[in-house]
Amino acid sequence: MSEQRPRHEKDEKEDEKRREKEEKNWDEKWRRDPVNMASWAGVFIWAGLVLLNNTLNIVRDINTGAVFFTGAGIIILVAALIRLLVPAHRRAAAGGFVVGLIFLGVGLGWLIKWGIVGPIILIAIGLVIVFRGMTRRRR
């Protein structure tokens, strides 16, 4: 007769294996995608700098939200551009362009006029979608 472990011990072992696998997948994802890691790190660093400026009032009379979104949009757009231009990091970049344009649009919309920035951002997003559709590889 073989001894069977109680059900809860078996569940704990399975949970532990699943957690180890998830941690391994997370580490591998970041190692395989340094552009994504660097861009999000850049966004957080930018947010910290903008908030620090807001607290210390180094640059006076700025719209903190507008400056954050504008900078974050630029960082995300640069990451998407790197994806297109550097073969070693080439992956789908359309999503990065859309998110970057949205962030940039929100920031510039607060700085300039929404009536000007909004339509330009919508046109740019539409062009990204059209370009992505035209360059998509057929399987």
Euclidean distance between CA atoms 125 and 100, whole angstroms: 10
Q: How many domains does the chain have?
A: 2
Tokens of 129: 């979608």
Q: Are residues 78 and 94 in the same domain?
A: yes
Q: Are residues 25 and 83 in the same domain?
A: no
Q: Look at residue 65 in the predicted model and tell me its pLDDT.
A: 92
Q: Say yes or no to pLDDT of 74 above 90.
A: yes
Q: Are residues 40 and 25 in the same domain?
A: no
Q: Are residues 90 and 25 in the same domain?
A: no
Q: Are residues 78 and 10 in the same domain?
A: no
Domain region containing 9: 1-32
Report pLDDT digits (tens) over 114-126: 888 989 999 999 9
Report pLDDT digits (tens) over 9-60: 666 777 777 766 666 665 555 567 888 889 999 999 999 999 999 999 888 8
Q: Say yes or no to pLDDT of 1 above 60.
A: no
Euclidean distance between CA atoms 133 and 136, whole angstroms: 5
Q: Are residues 78 and 100 in the same domain?
A: yes
Q: Say yes or no to pLDDT of 139 above 70.
A: no
Mean pLDDT of all residues belonging to the chain = 83
Euclidean distance between CA atoms 63 and 74, whole angstroms: 17
Q: Which of 77, 85, 73, 90 is CA-nearest to residue 34?
A: 90
Q: Are residues 20 and 40 in the same domain?
A: no
Query: What's the pTM value of the predicted model, to 2 decimals?
Result: 0.70
Q: Are residues 60 and 11 in the same domain?
A: no
Is the model more confident about 139 or about 64? 64
Q: Look at residue 44 in the predicted model and tell me its pLDDT.
A: 96
Q: Look at residue 104 in the predicted model and tell me its pLDDT.
A: 94
Give percent above pLDDT 70 in the chain: 78
